[in-house]
Chain A
């Protein structure tokens, strides 16, 4: 049986190759590059002018029952909130999820590309791809575009033959296997809540509640996070969306107003 080595092919763009859009998924898509001596400067200028949408707080952790994945839903273009309803948990296939943090277009495009590659792997090898394999495919692609300005901070979470799997992959080319991650500008806040409440033997409801709280606290303190806190669970039968709650409403649940004792009531001032 011929081994499928398409995952090892170089994904970097070749100078002088025109982009062929009609095919181009067995190898990586080739991108048109600007003809300039100062590639970095041009990218910086273009990004500043165009202000692509960026997304923010995501987290995932492995526990006894599987993997819990949660994210907010705000996208900002500079200081403007371009959307409060972005899907940051991307369904790669029925048993694998990817999260979006960093450039929205970068994450959407490369996750879609990863989904296609995973499907091609299934067709070529007659079995599902592992979480290890999928994350490696993505990491290799991102590594080959390293230094070109992509901004991707993603987690690949899934359930394969070896059980629950969770990998962190970023646009610097990093790929880490782990049990607990939070990515994005709101991640320090999410880590605070997540780390203090985490136990390996949480039940599904407790884990979902912990994930939801962590996202809520991140949206409370981080201006670039907000919208709807979505929580997904990945188990042996695939992923399932457990909840989607507006964080404005979660605020009243987690920060209930305590009636404070009134010291002195305001009195009406007599007319001057």
Chain B
């Protein structure tokens, strides 16, 4: 008698793309708002962006149920931290917390591709990019999700800066201004929408800077 195989999978892919760009004193995090399953669209207005702390915003694509669970978990841990330390978590601390949280599910991973953006303790923009099991790295810009293979090469072309591993060290922050970065994001999503079926409908942009947090929307193609 042959071994019984599972006839369902605990995972699904809801698609979508997320991008974040770090600047000298700002950070832009953006994601489309389409949620799909297979060839169907579940909704055109689902936000993939979540504010985890005062200066940390996460955008995640992949399986949104896992993303929701992950966001809840991190929000709870952040609340505990606030009670224990009487302050908000810094972005680098939240970055490591996210990495550990993802790795604790190493044998039953969160199917979530995350990009964390925010301001570090000096007020400079920082972006952390993750794989699904928690390996992470601080970078100047990143894209994750179904459109990432279309978006990343374009961002490399426009924003590529010297690697932080080079010795003597060279500064790695994007030289763009905030308005230029937001404009670049809009361009990038318009292009990704053209060629990725899972990206489209509406673009949600969150900008973090010293003045606080600001949200912006742009319509994308709905086909």
Which A residues have a C-beta under 8 Å from some C-beta of B? 19, 21-22, 29, 31-34, 36-38, 41-43, 45-46, 49-53, 73, 75, 77, 80, 82-87, 103-109, 148-150, 227-228, 230, 241-246
Q: In the complex the two chains form, what is the Cα distance from A85 to B105 in whole Å?
A: 25
Chain A residues whose CB sits within 8 angstroms of the CB of B102 once the complex forms: 105
Is the CB–CB distance between B165 and A50 below 8 Å? no
Q: A38-B3, A50-B111 are in contact. Are A105 and B167 (CB under 8 A)?
A: no
A3 to chain B, nearest CB (A): 30
Which residue in chain A gives the minimum CB-CB distance to B170? A244
Q: A33-B107, A34-B107 are in contact. Are A109 and B149 (CB under 8 A)?
A: no
Is the CB–CB distance between A244 and B6 below 8 Å? no
Residue of B6, B9, B107, B136 with highest tally of chain A CB at under 10 A: B107
Q: A32-B108, A34-B108, A49-B11 are in contact. Are A108 and B136 (CB under 8 A)?
A: yes
Is the CB–CB distance between B106 and A31 below 8 Å? yes
Is the CB–CB distance between A37 and B4 below 8 Å? yes
Which residue in chain A gives the minimum CB-CB distance to B77? A21
B73 to chain A, nearest CB (A): 9
Which residue in chain A gives the minimum CB-CB distance to B113? A50
Q: Indicate if B109 sits at the interface (CB-CB under 8 A).
A: yes
Q: Indicate if B135 sits at the interface (CB-CB under 8 A).
A: yes
Q: In the complex the two chains form, what is the Cα distance from A241 to B167 in whole Å?
A: 8
Q: Indicate if B131 sits at the interface (CB-CB under 8 A).
A: yes
A74 to chain B, nearest CB (A): 11
Q: In the complex the two chains form, what is the Cα distance from A38 to B137 in whole Å?
A: 33
Is the CB–CB distance between B165 and A227 below 8 Å? yes
Which residue in chain A gives the minimum CB-CB distance to B168? A244
Q: Indicate if B47 sits at the interface (CB-CB under 8 A).
A: no
Is the CB–CB distance between A104 and B131 below 8 Å? yes
| Interface residues of chain A: helix, strand, loop or mixed (majority) | mixed
Q: In the complex the two chains form, what is the Cα distance from A108 to B96 in whole Å?
A: 11
Chain B residues whose CB sits within 8 angstroms of the CB of A230 once the complex forms: 165, 167
B15 to chain A, nearest CB (A): 14
Which residue in chain A gives the minimum CB-CB distance to B106? A31
Q: A32-B104, A228-B165 are in contact. Are A108 and B99 (CB under 8 A)?
A: yes
B158 to chain A, nearest CB (A): 16
A130 to chain B, nearest CB (A): 27
Is the CB–CB distance between A106 and B106 below 8 Å? yes
One of A38, A52, A107, A245 near B166 (C-beta < 8 A): A245
Q: In the complex the two chains form, what is the Cα distance from A242 to B168 in whole Å?
A: 10
Is the CB–CB distance between A32 and B107 below 8 Å? yes
List 8 other contacts, CB 8 Å, given A22-B80, A46-B11.
A37-B3, A38-B6, A43-B107, A49-B111, A51-B132, A80-B149, A109-B103, A228-B166
Which residue in chain B gives the minimum CB-CB distance to A227? B163
**8 Å CB contacts to A: which residues of B94-141?**
99-109, 111, 129, 131-137, 139
Q: In the complex the two chains form, what is the Cα distance from A31 to B110 in whole Å?
A: 13
Q: What are 6 A-B pairs at a CB distance below 8 A?
A: A53-B131, A84-B163, A86-B137, A105-B102, A105-B131, A108-B135
Which residue in chain B gives the minimum CB-CB distance to A72? B165
